[in-house]
Amino acid sequence: TARKYYNKMFDKAPNINGKFGALIWKATSYVHEGNIEKALKTFEEYRALAEKEDLIINVILSYANQGFILTESGNPTEGMKYYEKASDLIKEAELSRPVKENYILYSIMWRCYVLTAKNEFDKAEADFEKCKQMVENRQNPGEERTLHSIYALREIKRGNYDKALEHFSKADTEDAFNWYYMAKAYEKKGDKENASKFYAKVANWNVNSLNLALVRQRAREKIQE
């Protein structure tokens, strides 16, 4: 099985990054199966290893990934707790200034994302504004794409499907996670043809990632409806 391979990959990894990579793939394989508990446990293993090696960035990322998995699995309240742990560590951590600034931005983006998932738009308003300012000042295309993706999720929740699709066109167009929510926006606005096209794209995509794992099963269920 894939997991045996990832366990072997972990054991044979020549360095710590190889071990982290193996654990991410192992967690991803559990998410594909819908086994959220084991995916979260795998990120706990990842965190224990990061703490042992005193790698604070990896500790932060372990919490953020758990927050992401929980939020996408329909439990944003629990997901928020993990995102908050990640954000607290970012504030406390002794990091070089550029790295610290990167992670402060990520932490605000995570908060925008999770509050959107909880339908707490008013609470997220100031964070979205802060994010927008930071992203505009930094002019980093990757950050711009991520922010558009979160804006799109907010517009879906608000029922503004055309606006959502406009944001998705400026987000990462190679990300299965975005395709899934694009399909959802098309479906909600009654465009079955495009909805089916994007659900199928997600279901048949073969570039593995945590983002794909979080949406693939839902896309497959949509195709079978």
Task: Answer whether 9's CB lies under 8 Å from 23's CB.
Answer: no
Distant-in-sequence contacts of 213-218, Cβ < 8 A, 24+ apart: 213/28, 213/29, 213/31, 213/32, 214/31, 214/68, 214/69, 214/72, 214/73, 214/177, 215/72, 215/176, 215/177, 215/179, 215/180, 215/181, 216/32, 216/176, 217/32, 217/34, 218/180
> Which pLDDT score, from 0 to 100, does residue 155 have?
98
Q: How many domains does the chain have?
A: 1
> Which pLDDT score, from 0 to 100, does residue 115 have?
98
- With 90 as the cut, is the pLDDT of residue 51 above it? yes
Average pLDDT, the chain: 98
Instruction: Assess if residue 144 is contained within a domain.
Output: yes
Instruction: Assess if residue 192 is contained within a domain.
Output: yes
- With 90 as the cut, is the pLDDT of residue 104 above it? yes
> Which pLDDT score, from 0 to 100, does residue 153 have?
99
Q: Is the pTM of this model over 0.75?
A: yes
Tell me the pLDDT tens digit for each residue of 81-94: 999 999 999 999 99
The amino acid occupying position 64 is A
Q: What is the CATH number of the domain that holds 157?
A: 1.25.40.10
Instruction: Assess if residue 191 is contained within a domain.
Output: yes
- With 90 as the cut, is the pLDDT of residue 2 above it? no
Boundaries of domain holding 148: 140-215
Instruction: Assess if residue 158 is contained within a domain.
Output: yes
Provide the CB-side half-sphere exposure for 125 (13 A, CA). 3
